[in-house]
Amino acid sequence: MTETSSNRDAVETYVEQVAALIGLPISPECLEGVVDNMMRTSAIARLVMEFPLPDDLEAGPTFEP
């Protein structure tokens, strides 16, 4: 994944807005790390979501420990 300045800015804005929405304080010195983590998580999620699945695939049963 190529990190662009505008992409990073968008993720930082998202992190700040969601943190404010849920009342989660993020100190300025931790914000960069939180944004880095969110960008890594987004890249992983993108790989999972783009994985092709056949249309006739059945959902697995509900896991009950």
Q: Which domain holds residue 31?
A: 5-49
In a domain, 59, yes or no: no
Asked if 38 and 11 count as a contact pair (C-beta separation under 8 A), the reply is yes
pLDDT score recorded for residue 4: 78
In a domain, 56, yes or no: no
* Number of domains, the chain: 1
Contacts of 24 by beta carbon, 8 Å cutoff, 6+ apart: 18
pLDDT digits (tens, 9 = 90+) for 43-61: 999 999 999 999 999 988 8
Confidence of residue 3 (pLDDT cuts 50, 70, 90): low
In a domain, 43, yes or no: yes
pLDDT score recorded for residue 65: 86
Q: Which residue has the tokens 């943190």?
A: 19
pTM of the model: 0.72
